[in-house]
Amino acid sequence: MENKRPFQRCTQCVMDTTDSGITFDGQGVCDHCRNFEKNIKPYWKPQENRFDELEELAKRIRKAGEGREYDCILGLSGGADSSYLAYIAKEIMHLKPLKALWMP
């Protein structure tokens, strides 16, 4: 049974009720925006170059995976972002990822 609710668009972004699971607060802000503000934005520092942290993590992963065929798992959707992630993991970070293709 399809739930018909009135069309609504978030007051902060482009998300709307075509996302069947979306919720809105009293100000019309969607749960995606609220999640970003609460769980991502406090830690997101795009102006900082944190490559050293990433390299240190990759170094620990490589060490833990010594002698193994794979040292990490990568989930791939087949889109540009995950394809670029696979490139970075293998060619730049020198990891040995087992690739898992996600298909909805």
What pLDDT digit, counting tens, does each position of 78-90 carry?
789 888 988 999 9
Q: Are the beta carbons of 93 and 54 closer than 8 angstroms? A: yes
Q: Are the beta carbons of 22 and 32 closer than 8 angstroms? A: yes
User: Is the pTM of the predicted complex or chain greater than 0.85?
Assistant: no
pLDDT band at 1 (very low <50, low <70, confident <90, very high): very low
Residue 104: pLDDT over 70: no
What pLDDT digit, counting tens, does each position of 45-96 carry?
888 888 888 899 999 999 999 999 999 998 888 789 888 988 999 999 999 9
